Structure 1
Amino acid sequence: MGHEVDMREHNEEQVIYLSSPVIETLALFSSLIQVKNDFLTEEREQLEEAYQNNFAVVQLKKLPDYSVYNLFNLLIPIPHFSSVELFAESLKRMAPGKFLYYFWGEDVPVEIVTKLWESPKTIWELDSNYYWQTDEVKAIYEQWLPVLQGFKNELAELLVNISKTAVFHAMWQEREPLMEASIRELQQLSMPSLSLAQYVMGKTFKRTSLYKMYYFIPSYCMTPARIRIFNESVCMVIYGCANALSNERESSEELAIRLKALADPNRLLILRLLSVKKEYGAKLAEYIGLTTATISHHLDILKKAGLVKEEKIGTIKYFAVDKEQITEMMQSLQHLIGK
């Protein structure tokens, strides 16, 4: 019996869109650690009642803020997206040193990871870096590393248990169409993969590579967070999809216009004066010490941004703050940053 091997390197870029129960289970678990939105209030409360004393939950809460999102880095070595059971089995089999290496995003050299796993106390001999910048954090990791094997196995079991709950099944059945709709929305955009990834994340990446594989994965439970997981060959974008991306993009652009209108001390002062009572341009110029023409220029910018409204009484134009629009702007900003 013979065999044939094609040794040619495949350089074609692959782009994969998918919804994933594994991602959704991780995101739902992360909500137990890092409360970030009001989309999952009912689901989170039910899971907290059942799992708040779980070993994996307790241990992860001891780690620095946002460490829960490091768990998504494990999707690079364990690319099981459709089966929580297969993901959990691979997680259990994964060597603790390998787990640490990917948990820290491949940023900590293998030799240091190995040294830390074999002797956690050596963390005090290492230079401070992103993951252990202070003595407090070093102490936390020194206590966490010896229980890493148990944490990893308990986490795997917990993810499977969450995926089997009635809460998860009800949420998945109800929200999967929303995730599929988000995928269709992305597929309709004619953009290069890297540009699309930056569009979804809402920023330009400082670190990029010639990625061979792109994943775009919507998650209801992740809302409003967005995560990019990457190494030299893979770029994975996981994004909250409770709100349509197009709507968020449009609201972001509108918010940017308004914030730009506020980026001037004189315009802020005008808003302050107009919040007390309506006034006309010449009087504002007198209060602030600017020419009427300059005040008119500032008022025009504020009007275009929808922050002030105009009322003509006789032959004089009076201006006042549009408090409803100011409130809407503040709410949009809070929503955008997930507060």
Structure 2
Amino acid sequence: MELHFHVSEAVDLTAFMFSIHNSGRKEDKELISKMLQDDETEKKLEEIRSRLSAEDHEKLEVFFNEDSAIGPALLPGVMKDDHTLSAEGFVQKLRAMNEEEIRSFLFGRGFADRDYDGSDPEAGKRIVDTLAVPKQEKWKLYYYLDRPEAVKEELSELTKYVYETFYKPFQQDAVEAAQAFIEELKQAPNDPEHPVRMLVRDYTDPEMIEYIHVYPSFSLNIGFMLNDLSVKNVVHLAIGVKRFSLLESKMNEEELFGLLKVLTDERRFRLLKLLRKRPHYGYEIAEALGVSNSTVSHHLAILLSHKFVKSERAEHRVYFKVNTEEIKRVMGEMERMFAE
């Protein structure tokens, strides 16, 4: 998997809109707040969130809802071969996309089981029927499959508004942080254990991927957004500039406590029990547990980052299974703590 690094205002602005609207899952707020309590980036994002009106959130909810995430899904289609796209360029290229392109990228971040070229709106609606997303998000996708021109108009106007009103003070910090992170990531770029390659392996088949386009994002901070275009042997990964450094250092301080909290969350516990029976892929998990795609993706990301779950590719799907050795290790550490 060949790594390519880019600084893109369009990527960070998309991440910015997603981040200021979605301030973190409720079940993880305590853990996240401890990790980020002294973090300057998070303080800046929180200050901006406090300035958002109800109308601002309503507009952002349309394209940056965690389940449908239409804005991030469209990003690779807008960028195409322009990996350093500006905010202005993003708006121009979005407006230039044709209807089929808009439709085909609407499902870029879902667990849809088949490809869709965007030519037949009714075929797209049948895919929506199979998605494990809330009903209101399905209605939204139905609407935009019939009206792709509305996507271009509404998202373009929202992007220009957020850029001018909220993002501009972030701009210089975002560029400098992205450039510095790229220098870190360029160290040992051919290492098969490079953290970027390891992260991508958790969600894709490495044998199908030739290129990973990496976009450091100031606004994502410790998060990431991945678009798997493995049919074309390409992955686009927007990754927070503190994803590795802050996450690792904070977890090491209270490692055992943090790991136990990860394991004892009710939804993750149910997910682990399901995977204990046999490996499952993302869509199966969502269906079996009766939850949305974004909920499954969220909890899998946490379990994978702490090595409680492993991933493996079979045919054209990524399956997840329990890493019993790591769970036993953590239980053994707890036993030793109380036995001493």
Do these two structures clear the TM 0.5 threshold for a shared fold by scoring above it? yes
Q: Aligned pair in 2 of structure 1 residues 32, 225: CA closer, same or farther (>3 Å)?
A: same
Q: Determine if contact 2:73/2:108 at 8 Å carries over to the other structure.
A: yes
| Alpha-carbon distance in structure 1 between the residues aligned to 2:245 and 2:138 | 42
Pairs within 5 Å for 1:309-324: none
Moved more, 32-41 or 153-162: 32-41
State whether structure 2 residue 179 is matched by structure 1 residue 180.
yes
Counterpart pick for 1:25 among 13, 19, 24: 13
Q: Determine if contact 1:222/1:240 at 8 Å carries over to the other structure.
A: yes
CA RMSD for the aligned pairs?
A: 4.2
Counterpart residue number, 1:280: none
Counterpart pick for 1:207 among 202, 205, 208: 205
| Alpha-carbon distance in structure 2 between the residues aligned to 1:251 and 1:104 | 34
SS in 2 for 1:114: coil
What CA deviation, in whole Å up to 9, does each residue of 1:281-306 have, x standing for no partner? xxxxxxxxxxxxxxxxx9994597xx
| Alpha-carbon distance in structure 2 between the residues aligned to 1:24 and 1:253 | 28
| Alpha-carbon distance in structure 2 between the residues aligned to 1:212 and 1:162 | 34
What CA deviation, in whole Å up to 9, does each residue of 1:185-217 have, x standing for no partner? 11124543684423456x633433443432221
SS in 1 for 2:120: helix
Counterpart residue number, 2:49: 44
Q: Aligned pair in 2 of structure 1 residues 115, 70: CA closer, same or farther (>3 Å)?
A: same
Counterpart pick for 2:96 among 93, 96, 102: 93
Q: Aligned pair in 2 of structure 1 residues 194, 78: CA closer, same or farther (>3 Å)?
A: farther
Aligned residues: 253
Q: CA deviation at 1:30?
A: 1.7
Q: Determine if contact 1:22/1:84 at 8 Å carries over to the other structure.
A: yes
Counterpart pick for 2:120 among 107, 115, 119: 115
Q: Determine if contact 2:74/2:108 at 8 Å carries over to the other structure.
A: no
Q: Aligned pair in 2 of structure 1 residues 229, 143: CA closer, same or farther (>3 Å)?
A: closer
Structure 1: tracts of 5 or more residues without a match: 1-12, 266-297, 311-318, 320-339
Counterpart residue number, 1:5: none
What CA deviation, in whole Å up to 9, does each residue of 1:3-44 have, x standing for no partner? xxxxxxxxxx75322222111211122235433384411223
TM-score when normalising by structure 2: 0.58
Counterpart pick for 1:220 among 218, 221, 231: 218
Structure showing greater Rg = 1
Moved more, 255-264 or 74-83: 255-264
Q: CA deviation at 1:226?
A: 1.0
- Which has the larger helix fraction? 2
Matched residue type, 1:197:
V
Structure 2: tracts of 5 or more residues without a match: 25-31, 33-41, 265-329
State whether structure 2 residue 142 is matched by structure 1 residue 142.
yes
Q: Aligned pair in 2 of structure 1 residues 222, 75: CA closer, same or farther (>3 Å)?
A: farther
